Amino acid sequence: MLAEIITIGDEILIGQIVDTNSAWMAQKLNAEGIRVKQISSVSDDREHILNALAEAANRADIIFITGGLGPTKDDITKQTLAEYFNVKLVLNTEALNNVQQIFKRYNRPLLEVNRKQAEVPENCEIILNSNGTAPGMWFNVDGKLYVSMPGVPFEMMYMMEDAVIPKLKQLLNLPVIIHKTILTAGEGESFLAEKIADIENDLPGNIKLAYLPKMGQVRLRLSAYSNGGASLSDQLEEFAARIVERVGPNVVALEDIPLEKVVLNYMTDNHLTLSAAESCTGGYLSHLITQHAGSSQVFLGSAVTYSNDLKENILGVKNETLYQFGAVSRETVTEMVAGALREFKSDYAVAITGIAGPGGGTAEKPVGTVWIAVANTNKTVVKKFTFGNKRPQNIERSAMAAFFMLITLLKET
C-alpha cells in the first residue's frame, strides 16, 4: 500500500516554517505498513494543487493532504478539491455544529468566514476536528483514498491518531512491518557499508537495510515486511545480531535514540554522575544532555570556560600550561577535565577545547582542531580531532565525538 503526502502553503516554500507534518505522518504511516512513495510541498495556487493531486493519484493508493483549510482567502484547498472531483461545496451540519460549539465555548461571535469552514465538497466524508474549526475530509474516488487535514500540526496529529489511522486499519488489509535500528558512532557510512557488505547481500527480498548518517554517527535501520508469519521478527533479529557482531565497538545502542540519551540511560541505570567543561562548544554539549527529562539524575553541571582566565579560575588550569601549550592542546584539555571532576565531584567528566572557526586558526592549529578528554577517577582518555572549517558542524561534531568517547569509557568499567 503506497501513500503520498502533499503539504500546501507558500509559508513552507519560502522557508517561513519547516514542514514537520510530513516527517511525523511518514513515521506513523510506516509503522502501520503504509509506505510513503513521495512527499511534495506546493504553493497556495489552484493549478499547482490540481497538478500535484493528479500526479499523486498516478503513483499512490492513498494521498494525504495538509494545509490550506483556514478561513482566509489564501486557503483554497477545499475549493480546489471540489474542482478536482468536479463537485460543489455544501454546508455540512455536523461540521457547522462543531464550529458553533467552539465559538460558544470561547464566547466569541461566529463570523461568516468561520461558518464557511463547515462547507465541504459534497462527495467527502468529514472528519471532525476536536481541536479546531476546520474539518478533515475523506474521499474514496476511483479506488484511491484522499485524506485532507488541517496544516496546524497538533490538529493534524490528533486527527490522524484518533480518526484517520483507525479508519485505514479497519478498511485496509495492511501488511506487517517491523523496524530494528542499530545506532553506531565513530565510523563513517562507507566504511560500515564495506564492513557488512556480505551480510547486506544475504538479506532476503522482504528485509531492507538503510544507512542513515548524521554528524558523528550512522543509524543502520533494518525493515522487514510481511503479510503475516511469526518468523518475521526472528528473521530480523538474526540479521541484526550478525551486523552487531561484525560492527563491534562502534555499536552504541540497539534503538533509535540520540547519542546523549545512550549516555544518560547507561549512567542512570548505574547511578553515575557526569560534569562537563566546554570551551569551543559553548554549552552545546550540556544543552543536548539537559533537553532530556530526568537528566538531573546524572548531570551535575558544566563550566563554559571560553576565556583563558575562566579556565584558570574555575577549572584550575595552570597559567604555565596555557602559556606554553595554548588553550587548544592535549595538556589544557587534560587539566580541564581533571578540574571538572574535582570541582563538580562527579563520577565522570568530559572536556572540549578547540577552534570552531571560521577564524582563529593557524598553520599549526587550523580551524577545526579540537581536543576532547573524558575521564573518571581512574582513567583519562584524550583525543585530537581535525574537523572542517564550518563552525556549526564543528560544534556538533565535537559534541558527538565526546559522547562516543564517553560511551566507550563507560563500557570499559
* 114 pLDDT more than 90: no
Could you read off the pLDDT of 377-411 as tens digits, one per residue?
A: 999 999 999 999 999 999 999 999 999 999 999 99
Record the cell numbers describing residue 400, joined without a space.
558527538
Given a cut of 70, is residue 228 above it in pLDDT? no
Q: What's at 270, amino acid-wise?
A: N
Mean residue pLDDT of the chain comes to 94
Q: Output the DSSP codes for 5-38.
A: EEEE-HHHHTTSS--HHHHHHHHHHHHTT-EEEE
pLDDT of 147 reads: 98
Q: CB–CB of 29/36 below 8 Å? A: yes
Q: Which residues pair with 40 in a beta bridge?
A: 6
Predicted local confidence at residue 113, as pLDDT:
83
SS3 label, residue 183: strand
- Residue 250 CA to residue 134 CA, distance in Å, equals 48
- What is the distance between the alpha carbons of residues 131 and 24, in angstroms, rounded to a whole number? 18
Q: Is 351 helix (H, G, I), strand (E, B) or coil?
A: strand
Residues 6+ apart with CB under 8 A from 198: none
Under a CB-based contact definition with an 8 Å cutoff, are residues 7 and 151 in contact?
yes
Alpha-carbon distances, residue 78 vs 90, 141, 401 (angstroms): 11, 16, 49
Amino acid found at 411:
K
**What is the per-residue pLDDT across 16-28, written as a single tens digit (0 to 9) for each?**
999 999 999 999 9
* Residue 24 pLDDT: 95
What is the pLDDT, as a whole number, of residue 104? 86
SS3 333: helix
379: cell is 582513567
259-412 shares the fold of 176-253: no
The stretch 51-71 carries a mean pLDDT of 95
Alpha-carbon gap, residue 275 to 337, rounded angstroms: 9
List C-alpha distances in Å: 299 to 285, 290, 401.
Answer: 11, 8, 18
User: What is the mean predicted confidence (pLDDT) over 339-343?
Assistant: 98
Residue 285 has pLDDT above 90, yes or no: yes
pLDDT in tens, 23-50: 999 999 988 889 999 999 999 999 999 9
The alpha carbon of 272 is separated from its chain's Cα centroid by a whole number of angstroms, namely 27
> Would the CA dihedral through 283, 284, 288, 291 be positive or negative?
positive
> Does residue 8 register a pLDDT over 60?
yes
Question: What is the C-alpha separation between 292 and 258, in angstroms, rounded?
Answer: 10
pLDDT recorded at residue 105? 83
Asked if residue 227 has pLDDT above 80, the reply is no
- Tell me what pLDDT residue 222 has: 95
Q: Where does 151-250 have alpha helices with state H?
A: 153-159, 165-171, 189-195, 197-202, 231-247
Query: What class is the 259-412 domain?
Result: alpha beta
What one-character-per-residue DSSP string does 73-107 give? TT--HHHHHHHHHT--EEE-HHHHHHHHHHHHHTT
124: which 3 cell numbers? Answer: 467527502
Is 176-253 in CATH node 3.30.70.2860? yes
> What is the pLDDT at residue 115?
87
Dist. CA 371–CA 402, nearest whole Å: 10
pLDDT tens digits, 64-92: 999 999 888 888 999 999 999 999 999 99
**pLDDT value, residue 33:** 87
The helix (H) or strand (E) run that includes residue 218 is strand 217-226
> pLDDT category, 365, cuts 50, 70, 90?
very high
What's domain 2-171's architecture?
A: 3-Layer(aba) Sandwich (3.40)
Backbone CA torsion sign across 340, 344, 345, 346: negative
pLDDT, residue 72, reads 82
Residue spans of the domains in the chain: they are 2-171, 176-253, 259-412
Length of the chain counted residue by residue:
413
Cell numbers at 320, concatenated: 604555565
DSSP string, 219-232: EEEEEEEESS-THH
Element (H, E) at 136: strand 136-141
Model confidence band, residue 161 (pLDDT cutoffs 50, 70, 90): very high
Of the candidates 274, 270, 268, the residue with the CA atom closest to the CA atom of residue 293: 268
- Comparing 206-215, 279-288, 315-324, the range with the smallest average pLDDT is 206-215
Rounded to whole angstroms, the Cα distance separating 113 from 101 reads: 16
For residue 386, list its beta bridge partners.
Answer: 369
Q: How sure is the predictor about 229, in pLDDT bands with cuts at 50, 70 and 90?
A: low
Q: Which of 398, 348, 397 is nearest to 372 (CA)?
A: 398
